[in-house]
Amino acid sequence: MIIAALNSQRVRFHNTGPSWVPGVIVMSIEDGQEGIPGLSQLDPLYAYIVVIVNACPNAASFAIPALRTRTFELHPLQVMSTDEIVKNSTYEALTGCFTVPPRTTSVFVEYRNI
C-alpha cells in the first residue's frame, strides 16, 4: 500500500479524459527534485522522465503545459541508437510539446541539477 501511494505521487498519465488522443500513451515520472514537496530522490541522474508510446501510423504531438520551460532531451541510449526514426523525436520547451514519430516509443529525460 505504501509503495502504491509513493508511485501514485511520482507517476502520471497525461493523455486521459475526453480529449485523449487515441493510440498514444503519455507517462511522466518525477523523482523528487522540485515538484512535489517531501518526495524523496531515487535516481541521482534524472529528475524527470517522460515516456511517450505512439502506436499510430502518423507522428504524434502532445503538449504538457505544466512541463513548459523544462530541459528535456531524448534519452542518451536512444540518441546513440541505430534506430534513426526514434532520433526524430523532439521536445519544445516553449510550448511543452513532445513530438514522436509513428509507431515509436520515445523516452525523454531531464537531468538533475548537480
Neighbours of 66 (CB within 10 A): 11
In this structure, what are the phi and psi dihedrals at residue 7, rounded to the nearest 5 degrees? Answer: -65, -35
DSSP-H helix ranges across 1-114: 2-10, 76-79
DSSP at 111: E
pLDDT confidence of residue 74 = 98
Tell me what pLDDT residue 2 has: 45
On whether the CB atoms of residues 108 and 73 are closer than 8 A, the answer is yes
Identify the band that residue 111 occupies on the pLDDT scale cut at 50, 70 and 90: very high
Between 74 and 44, the more confident residue is 74
Calculate mean pLDDT across residues 82-103: 98
Q: What is the pLDDT of residue 113?
A: 79
Give the burial string for 69-88 (b: 16+ CB within 10 Å, else e).
ebebebbeebeeeeeeebbe
Which three cell numbers mark 39?
Answer: 518526495
The residue to which cell 509507431 is assigned: 103
Q: What is the pTM of this model?
A: 0.88
CATH superfamily, domain 2-111, is Golgi alpha-mannosidase II (2.60.40.1180)
Q: How far, in Å, CA of 70 to CA of 92, rounded?
A: 9
Question: H or E element: which one contains 25?
Answer: strand 24-30
